[in-house]
Amino acid sequence: MQKTALVIMAAGIGSRFGKGIKQLAPVGPCGEIIMDYSIHDALEAGFNKVVFIIRKDLEEEFRKVIGERIEKITEVEYVFQELDDLPEGFSKPADRTKPWGTGQAVLAAKKVLDEPFIVINADDYYGKEAYVKVHDYLIQEQLKDGKIHICMAGFRLGNTLSDNGSVTRGICNIENGQLTGVTETHDIFKTAAGAESRTDGNVKALDVKDLVSMNMWGLTPDFMEILEKGFVEFLGGLTPDEIKKEYLLPELVDRLIKNGSAKVDVLETKDTWFGVTYQEDKETVMNAFKDLTDAGVYPQGLYK
């Protein structure tokens, strides 16, 4: 069986959710957290290793709430996204207070990954279909054309909105099934007619069938080499007034597409994404998991 890994970015704490570590908030009928469902779906799809990207100060609670449970059913690795985990020759700026973004987060897992892997956010529920599609993509042999071949799960915009406020989504530009770019779109609201963005007084109707990126990527060990090199270039190019800038995975992927060094296949999923962006979303998510359990999509008590 080919080795494939699930990499979960769990180092961030969402400020809009309020107090508490939202990634570890129970939402399932038997106290499951969102990550429980993500791991269940990934293992079911064929992934056979889990890598948790966390902060060192969260390690004890994280292992207690989920890690020790998952260690009983699959191979598990822990890596840490830290503010001062920088390439040789760079040091943490005195007034930098947050880690360096999703690019640095994934790079933290480089030392424990020799296999193709899927990257997800800890606090997002993606449904089952995307894991199957990304897994099947990663175990296929790709064209040897000198380019990096990776993939991204594309979710329909209408399936990713919150009832409790605006969201930001990367709307995908696609040609012949391949990503040509992502348009970061802020202040997207759910409306009676579908969705619209309201930015700087401009209101624009959006097509709810457009595919968006929810930070679910299918990547390879080769990609990690590029990610590492890109981080050095990112840090080397920072000006003093860019000290809060983040090294973001989607921005790197966009550059690789533009310079012709990567091909990114977009794998459409019709599943509904949900997550806890706002405190008020928690009840909606809990109801959704209850409905999925009642419908038999998930067993009563995932790991019992």
* Interatomic CA distance for residues 149 and 5, integer angstroms: 17
Q: How confident is the model at residue 61 (pLDDT cuts 50, 70, 90)?
A: confident
Joined together, the tokens standing for residue 6 give 């699930």
C-alpha to C-alpha distance for 195 and 206, rounded to whole angstroms: 5
Q: What is the mean pLDDT of residues 267-292?
A: 90
pLDDT for position 24: 75
Please report which confidence band the pLDDT of residue 20 belongs to, taking 50, 70 and 90 as the band edges: low
Nearest C-alpha neighbor of 163 from the set 28, 277, 13, 23:
277
Q: Which is nearest to 65 in space by CA: 27, 102, 117, 109?
A: 27
Pairing of strands 262-269, 148-156: parallel
Question: pLDDT (tens digit, 9 = 90+) per residue, 106-131?
Answer: 999 999 999 999 999 998 999 999 99
Tokens representing 215 are: 């930070």
In the three-class reduction of DSSP (H, G, I as helix; E, B as strand; rest coil), residue 86 is classed as coil
Q: Would you say residue 16 has pLDDT above 50?
A: no
In the predicted model, what is the mean pLDDT of residues 177-188?
A: 92
Cβ–Cβ < 8 Å for 266, 121: no
Give the residue carrying structure tokens 């890690």: 67
Q: Is pLDDT at 86 greater than 60 in this prediction?
A: yes
Q: Angle at Cα 247 formed by Cα 241 and Cα 249, nearest 5°?
A: 150
Confidence of residue 184 (pLDDT cuts 50, 70, 90): confident
